[in-house]
Chains A and B, each alone.
Chain A
Amino acid sequence: MANLTDLEYLRLNRWNRFIYRFSHFFTEKLPNGLKNFFVGTGRRIAGAAKKVGAECVDIWSTFVNGDWKTKLSFLVMGFGNLARGQILRGILFLLFEIVFIFYMVTTGAYWLSMLPSLGLQGPSKEYDPIYDTEITIPHDNSFKILLYGVLTIFFIIAFIYTWRVNVRQNKLAEQILKSGKKLRSGREDLRSMVDDQFHKTLLALPLTGIIIFTVLPIVFMILVAFTNYDGAHNGYSNALFSWVGWKNFDTMLNWSNNSGTQSYSATFGEVLTWTLIWAFFATFTNYFLGMFVAMAINKKGIKLKKVWRTILVLTIAIPQFISLLYVSKMFAKDGILNGFLLSMGWISQAIDFWGDTANNGLLARIMVIVINIWIGIPYLMLIVTGILMNIPADLYESARIDGANAWQQYTKITLPYMLFITGPYLLTSFTGNMNNFNVIYLLTGGAPTNAAASSAAGAVGFTDLLITWLFKITTGAGNYYYLASVVGILVFVVVAVISLIVYNVLPSIKNEEDFQ
């Protein structure tokens, strides 16, 4: 499609404009974006390689040009600091090196050497004369090997980084002394920790927590996707697990792996489709209905605004598990609602909201979306109320003078403004809904069961999202951890792709500094 100039674009009617923008995205923006992405990545890799080269040259020149203190520091970290009177830094460097070497010699080398095989000797059965029976004696532990292997690699990276800092500091110290200035004392170092280096002090604790409790587990779980770690290979007491390459991705994504029962890929496709449908409806029904409720409460002439708002906000305060579980039981086959309808004589048979498998569990799917509206509207009402108050009142006034009715005011002023401001929020709320474990698991637990798919892994139901499926796989009979991590990685890929596209299309991703 040809590129139109602004004037030509404005001459189009609304429908053609939409077509133009839509096709423009796929013919122009997307290819360009992809091209930029790959070119950018290539450039970044080249830049990184260049940087590493520069670092190496710098290290080498530091060694060649440095004095004997610097040279010795290449081997004994912190020696230069100690020799030049920076006792505190020197001791810290030296201590780190000693701890590192001690760790590597005592255990680190073992974990690292076992990492390629994930353990050589599995558990063995031996006769125990005391109990007069065969007992299992575990030997290598694949789980620990993988975990500590990754940890050791982290540690080595940290050591290399610290060593580089050590070398750079020696070079700097030499230059400073040569120019006749004085080096920083330990006391000044300590003071700088709450002053110009304060950000490092502040970030130390949060980042340590994130690295140990998020980064390390995620790296570990990504690696698990390439092993056969499951309930029958727990790496310790029954059998070791080992590397299997891309086999698990093949199992999950290959359509031809169809052995009588439904393949994983078909199940994955079904669950992914429902996850996207769910996320779409959960986000936008909440968004528009929440906006509607907020505007109704904010309308001029409506009294008791505070009361209405408080009633809705009250429902945020009550822990979700109580309201969700209770509502789930309300709609159960023997729940209050069915009891009420039966006793009124409006229905002759209890409606099985959570068990009806007709039309791929359509009833249950509609119900979770509707109940999610009940959960979500109060939040949206709060958010929208805040934003509505920021829309300049004179916009509406001039629109009214020009004769715009309420609907026109809404579509021409309120909606564009809202969409512009809340664009990023809509995105996070969409991805958040894709991973909305609580609502689905507490309401339906994935029910009604999908008879065709449940043979694959875990009892997959029609309302199961990828995230609840993942949970079911790990807690299900076979504990297929490797499949769970494949699903987890795929969730990441889907979320990342959606975010990337939306971020590139949205107009309202503003420069961060604009707010300050």
Chain B
Amino acid sequence: MSEKRVEPSSAPVQQHMGLKASRAISNTAIYVLLVIISVIWLIPFVCIVLQSFRVESTWQVGYVIPQKWGLDNYRNLLQTDFTRWYLNTFIIALITAVLQTVIVLCMSYTLSRFRFKMRGPLMRFMLILGMFPGMLTMIILYRVLKDLGMTQENAVPGLILVYIASSGMGYYVSKGFFDTIPKSLDEAARVDGATRLQVLYKIILPLSKPIVIYTILTAFMGPWGDFVFARYISFGASAGKNVAVGLYDWLSKDQINKSYTMFCAGGVLVALPVTILFMCLQRYYVEGVTGGAVKG
């Protein structure tokens, strides 16, 4: 743009050239920085992938590129309980994604749209409740689930229950989204004789695709990474573990020397589907995260 303008004197032109030069320098610096950052951020993942193909030794070694390549680690993986853990986690993630989304949407929609007497106290109460470390509840939940027969080998239903039961407290992001949908839409439909239920599924839900997808995505990804509850509830029983707990144990002092590369292979298999799904739905995730942070 500025090139087309006729410069009246030479001084501004010089200044302009100086600006351009300094911009070029700073841009080069930024490019260098971004390349370094990208390398730092990607190195661990490249290492995991490379080491998952390493055949010559299953130990932790001081080099990255395998001397002998092969699929042995993946083959060995199928001989272990890994397939069971994988299936467990997948089932948990799938059911949690559906039920948690329903609960979170119920909660956030209500708190965004309805003005009832207990609304303020309820939100304050949940804020205070959220300040208690959730881990504290683990002890009792474990004992109760144990009485119900939902621990150890049968940890899957127990974990699903734990994940979805309190998920209503994570309503903030989607409430922020519902708040942005104009209320006049509801009111117009109500005037036309629609019930509140009809307003919800005929008007609000079709407009809420981004937040529904965001909620499903985060709910699905959560169980893949959960470690504390899964470890506590599946306590000691291999059949009830999820991938995080199972793979964690492979890195314990007495196992790391024979299963380090298997851990890498397992990590690749776990990360692959989650990452692909995430990359496909990235747009919605970004929307949710940015919206949620701004509205608090």
Contacts and interface: CB of A to CB of B under 8 A. Distances in A.
30 contacts: A147-B143, A194-B195, A205-B106, A209-B165, A210-B165, A213-B137, A213-B141, A214-B134, A214-B165, A218-B129, A224-B139, A297-B34, A299-B27, A301-B23, A302-B34, A308-B37, A312-B38, A316-B278, A317-B271, A318-B275, A325-B247, A325-B248, A326-B263, A326-B267, A335-B62, A386-B293, A438-B227, A470-B135, A474-B138, A481-B139
A515 B179 contact: yes
Interface in B67-82: none
A275 to B, nearest CB: 11
A431 interface: yes
Interface stretch (A32-40, A57-65, A491-499): A491-499
A330 B61 CA distance: 10
Contact of A329 (B41, B251, B289): B251
Query: Interface residue tally of chain B, by bracket?
Result: 35 or more
Interface stretch (A23-31, A355-363, A418-426): A418-426
B47 interface: yes
Nearest to A216: B140
Contacts of A221: 136-137, 139-140
Given A308-B38, A321-B247, A467 B135 contact: yes
A302 B289 contact: no
A25 to B, nearest CB: 22
A164 B30 CA distance: 68
A496 B128 contact: yes
3 closest A-B pairs by CB: A339-B62, A386-B290, A206-B168
B189 interface: no
A152 B136 CA distance: 21
A471 interface: yes
Interface string B219-241: 00100110110001000000000
Contact of A215 (B110, B129, B139, B282): B129
Contacts of B40: 374
Contacts of A52: none
A315 interface: yes
B131 A499 contact: yes
A217 B168 contact: no
B169 to A, nearest CB: 6
Contacts of A491: 132-133
B132 A383 contact: no
Contact of A213 (B166, B224, B271): B166
A431 B296 CA distance: 13
A202 B178 CA distance: 15
B161 to A, nearest CB: 8
Interface in B33-49: 33-34, 37-38, 40-42, 44-45, 47-48
B209 interface: no
A209 B103 contact: yes
A207 interface: yes
A385 B291 CA distance: 11
Interface in A283-338: 293, 296-297, 299, 301-302, 308, 310-323, 325-327, 329-330, 332, 334-336, 338
A318 B274 contact: yes
Interface in A460-516: 466-467, 470-471, 474-475, 481, 484-485, 488, 491-492, 495-496, 499, 515-516
Contacts of B176: 515
Contact of B168 (A195, A210, A218, A326): A210
A343 interface: yes
B165 A213 contact: yes
Interface string B256-296: 10001001100100110011001100100110011101111
Contacts of B162: 213
B167 interface: yes
B21 interface: no
Contacts of A485: 136
